[in-house]
Structure 1
Amino acid sequence: MLSFDAKTARLLDDVYAGSDCTRRRQESFDALKPAPGEVILDIGAGNGLLTGELARAVGPSGRVIAVEPSADMRASAQARCAGFDWVEIVDGTADSLPAPAETIDKAVAVQVFEYLQDIPRAVTEVHRVLRKDGRLVIGDIHFDSLVWHTDNPDRMARMQIAWDHHFTTRNVPAQLPAILRATGFCLDAVTPVTVCDYQLRPDGLARMMIILMRDFAIAGGHVPTAEATAWADEQTALAAQGRFFFAVTHFVTSARKT
């Protein structure tokens, strides 16, 4: 699993405000359809970018509860949302939500469910806290959609295998429809959001993944330091040559409690 320390939090702050992550966040926001006065649960709120957007949407007559297990991320979210008295940032996890039954109008989780050990349990927990007809929106990448150019496919494959160790499930979007229906949700839509880069942009998802994948592979001993560093350096070199290409698809799944 990734460790979201202060250094990682700073990197995520930079990239999450960039265009790639903004598109993903906007798609989840639009699917959630936040309205004035609603009580919304932001599961795995991270640095609070979406939390703040939800706070503006529901206004002071509403309430946003941001649930985040990382202390560094909670601190970042707290600073970002300091002007919203109706935002509560709390320690917690998706499978043990700090909310009474049937008290939440809507819930959203962006890039969270891939880290969960028990996705059905988390979906059941959200079902518990949502009111009748409450909406749930889950956004996650399907990692089988990853396309990444390299002149060394074997090394790229080893890096991707190493990266698989940082999450629990690589195909969350494919599993969700059946899990949601089995838990008592009515599936509304599954919307793909594809990030496709032919440049290595400073605020891009690809840049973040290069840094995180390199550091994770080295720290976990999954790939030798020299190999992981060479892999990252190759991507920078390909970009300088105009040969960089990266694409991956994030899926936004929306459902209602029946």
Structure 2
Amino acid sequence: MLQFDEETTRVLEDAYQGADISRRRRASFDALAPQPGDRILDLGCGNGLLTAELARATGPAGHVTGLDASPDMLAAARQRLQGRSNTTLTESDAASLPFEPESFDKAVSVQVFEYITSRRPVLRALHHVLKPDGRLVIGDIHFDTFAWHSDNRARMQRFMDIWDSHLAERAVPARLPEELRDCGFALESMRPVTLCDTSLRPDGLAAVMIRLIRAYAVQTGATDEDDAAAWAQEQEELAQEGRFFFSLTHFVCTARRI
């Protein structure tokens, strides 16, 4: 399990509210199209940013349930959602949804399915708790779209391979159409959200990924601190020289429960 120090936690919070991750979150929000009175499930709600945005949109007649397996994330979400009577937080894994059949009008999940080894049981659970014609929105990165410049290409590939090892599936958007059909959903759209940067912004996705990958590589024993520091330092130097380049594509999948 990746452990976050105080500084990394602060950087993560900045990044979650920064332009890159906010753009991805907004793309899922728009695809979900929350309406007043909707009952929505936020699967893998994390620190509750999207949950809060959906709660504002559904209003007092609606309700948003945030579900996450991490007590630490739920604690952060609980603090963020204080005073919002139209929200509920539930601790559970994604395949064991503790809700009555046809409880929700809509469900959304952002960057969760890439960590799920067996996605069909989760999709079947979502089918069970969604109403007929209920909308499902899943947002995940296809890591084959990842391009990250380095003068030391072998080292960069090694670090990207290390990061790959923490994923259950690196190509979720390519897998979803078949998996959704198998689980009783009709695919409606698959829309790309490409993030491309030529500067290393403090609140950008690249900055937070440098911190996360560096920490993960060391904590898992895949490399030592000196090697990880040199990898991270090169990106700082490339940015100072005006040679930084980082790009990946997040996909927003919209489906309907048949």
Q: Which category of TM-score, normalised to the shorter sequence, fits these structures?
A: over 0.9
**What's the TM-score once normalised by structure 2's chain length?**
0.97
Aligned residue for 2:12?
12
Deviation at 1:72, TM superposition (A): 1.6
In 1, the alpha carbon distance for the partners of 2:198 and 2:144 equals: 19
Q: Give the alignment of 1:47-58 within 5 angstroms.
A: 47-58=47-58
Deviation at 1:22, TM superposition (A): 0.8
Q: Is the 8 A contact 1:137 1:253 kept in 2?
A: yes
Q: Give the alignment of 1:74-85 within 5 angstroms.
A: 74-85=74-85
Aligned residue for 1:28?
28
Aligned residue for 2:60?
60
Deviation at 1:86, TM superposition (A): 1.0
Indicate yes or no: 2:195 matched with 1:213: no
3-state SS, counterpart of residue 157 of structure 1: helix
In 2, the alpha carbon distance for the partners of 1:36 and 1:2 equals: 38
What amino acid does structure 2 have at the position aligned with 1:48? G
Q: Is the 8 A contact 1:4 1:70 kept in 2?
A: no
In 2, the alpha carbon distance for the partners of 1:4 and 1:101 equals: 37
What amino acid does structure 1 have at the position aligned with 2:91? D
> Against the structure 1 CA distance between its residues 156 and 49, is the aligned structure 2 distance closer, same or farther, given a 3 Å change threshold?
same
* Uncovered stretches (5+) of structure 2, i.e. residues with no partner: none
3-state SS, counterpart of residue 166 of structure 1: coil
Aligned residue for 2:162?
162
> Against the structure 1 CA distance between its residues 11 and 96, is the aligned structure 2 distance closer, same or farther, given a 3 Å change threshold?
farther
* Deviations, residues 93-142 of structure 1 (Å, cap 9, x unaligned): 21111211111110000000000121111111111110100010000000
Q: Is the 8 A contact 2:11 2:203 kept in 1?
A: no
* Deviations, residues 199-239 of structure 1 (Å, cap 9, x unaligned): 00000000010000000000001122211111001001110
Q: Give the alignment of 1:128-167 within 5 angstroms.
A: 128-167=128-167
3-state SS, counterpart of residue 160 of structure 1: helix
In 1, the alpha carbon distance for the partners of 2:101 and 2:120 equals: 17
Q: Is the 8 A contact 1:62 1:86 kept in 2?
A: yes
In 1, the alpha carbon distance for the partners of 2:142 and 2:63 equals: 31
Q: Is the 8 A contact 1:4 1:72 kept in 2?
A: no
**Identity fraction in percent:** 53
In 2, the alpha carbon distance for the partners of 1:93 and 1:11 equals: 26
* Uncovered stretches (5+) of structure 1, i.e. residues with no partner: none
Aligned residue for 2:238?
238
> Against the structure 1 CA distance between its residues 138 and 4, is the aligned structure 2 distance closer, same or farther, given a 3 Å change threshold?
farther
In 2, the alpha carbon distance for the partners of 1:192 and 1:213 equals: 24
Q: Give the alignment of 1:152-231 within 5 angstroms.
A: 152-231=152-231
**What's the TM-score once normalised by structure 1's chain length?**
0.97
Corresponding residue pairs, total: 258
What amino acid does structure 1 have at the position aligned with 2:86? W
